[in-house]
């Protein structure tokens, strides 16, 4: 009983965390490993379990996404391809070496998001970046998302904040849709590979879906400044957790 409570609780919180900042994998992956799942299977199971939560959170932000249609198509294409390539690389490459780089990527994202407004105001002196620059920034994020996934929401928020200059609620909507695309191809790849532990994945998927939808709808009721403060705190918490998990 304790195992299922731990896994579903971690998935519920991860679904909510992914809806507003990202980093849900930092909860579900350790929970799976702690309860006896092998690391590669834990990575695959976590990705599959969190994908329905991505659907729910993206749907929760649908009301603020009408003005992002022009950006969505190229960003989704890049995310789908990057998620596929990253997942294939995860199956073919030992994860220990790359895992040591993850905390530094997430740290970069936390710094970028925290000080993104100041950097964006400075960049606005040179004009708004074209769409292709935003699309290009999504390439390494989607590759990493398919490979491991932890913290991609934070990285996307950081890049979109710096390059896009959009309202934070719309950024969260974009981030949720793009995370959905990345995890779609990664999920299909892991399912075909046979690495998924289905009983655990299904139970966690239900929990992450509820957590993702509830949090996405709840977040829209808050002032943007409040949501941003929450995201900054969560971002640095995720960053510290990654460093502790990797190097402690």
The DSSP result for 33-66, as a single string, is: HHTT--HHHHHHHHHHHHHHHHHHHHHHTGGG-G
Cα Rg of the chain, angstroms: 17
Strand ranges, E, within 184-240: none
| pLDDT for position 143 | 92
Question: What digits encode the pLDDT tens for the residues 134-164?
Answer: 889 899 999 988 887 766 777 787 788 766 6
The full length of the chain comes to 248
DSSP assigned state of 68: G
Question: What digits encode the pLDDT tens for the residues 24-33?
Answer: 777 788 788 7
Q: How many domains does one find in the chain?
A: 1
Neighbours of 24 (CB within 10 A): 34
| pLDDT for position 166 | 62
Question: What digits encode the pLDDT tens for the residues 91-114?
Answer: 887 767 766 777 887 787 778 777
| pLDDT for position 164 | 60
Range of the domain at 227: 2-247
Residues 6+ apart with CB under 8 A from 110: 154, 158, 232, 235, 236, 238, 239
CA distance 19 to 24: 9
Contact 105, 151 (CB under 8 A): yes
pTM attached to this predicted model: 0.77
Contact 235, 92 (CB under 8 A): no
| pLDDT for position 196 | 92
Question: What digits encode the pLDDT tens for the residues 157-187?
Answer: 778 876 665 676 777 788 888 888 998 999 8
Average pLDDT of the segment spanning 111-128: 71
Neighbours of 68 (CB within 10 A): 17
Contact 26, 241 (CB under 8 A): yes
Burial of 172 by CB count in 10 Å (0-12 exposed, 13-18 middle, 19+ buried)?
A: buried
Question: What digits encode the pLDDT tens for the residues 186-217?
Answer: 989 999 989 899 999 999 999 988 888 887 77
CA distance 8 to 157: 26
Question: What digits encode the pLDDT tens for the residues 211-236?
Answer: 888 877 776 676 767 767 777 787 78
């Amino acid at each position: 009983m304790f195992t299922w409570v731990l896994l579903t609780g971690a998935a519920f919180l991860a679904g909510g965390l992914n809806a507003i900042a990202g980093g849900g994998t930092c909860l579900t992956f350790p929970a799976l490993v702690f309860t006896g799942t092998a690391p590669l299977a834990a990575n695959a199971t976590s990705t599959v379990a969190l994908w329905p939560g991505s659907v729910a959170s993206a749907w929760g932000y649908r009301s603020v996404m009408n003005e992002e249609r022009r950006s969505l198509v190229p960003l989704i294409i890049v995310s789908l391809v990057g998620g596929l390539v990253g997942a294939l690389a995860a199956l073919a490459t030992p994860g220990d070496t790359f895992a040591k780089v993850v905390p530094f990527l997430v740290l970069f994202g936390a710094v970028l998001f925290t000080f993104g407004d100041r950097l964006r105001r400075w960049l606005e002196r040179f004009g708004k970046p074209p769409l292709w620059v935003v699309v290009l920034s999504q390439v390494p994020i989607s590759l990493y998302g398919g490979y491991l996934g932890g913290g991609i929401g934070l990285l996307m928020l950081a890049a979109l904040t710096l390059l896009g200059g959009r309202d934070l609620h719309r950024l969260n909507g974009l981030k949720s849709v793009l995370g959905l695309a990345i995890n779609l191809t990664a999920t299909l790849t892991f399912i075909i590979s046979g690495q998924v532990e289905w009983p655990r994945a299904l139970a966690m998927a239900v929990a992450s879906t509820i957590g993702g939808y509830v949090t996405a709808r709840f977040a829209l009721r808050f002032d943007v400044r409040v949501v941003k403060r929450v995201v900054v705190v969560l971002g640095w918490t995720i960053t510290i957790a990654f460093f502790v998990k990797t190097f402690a």
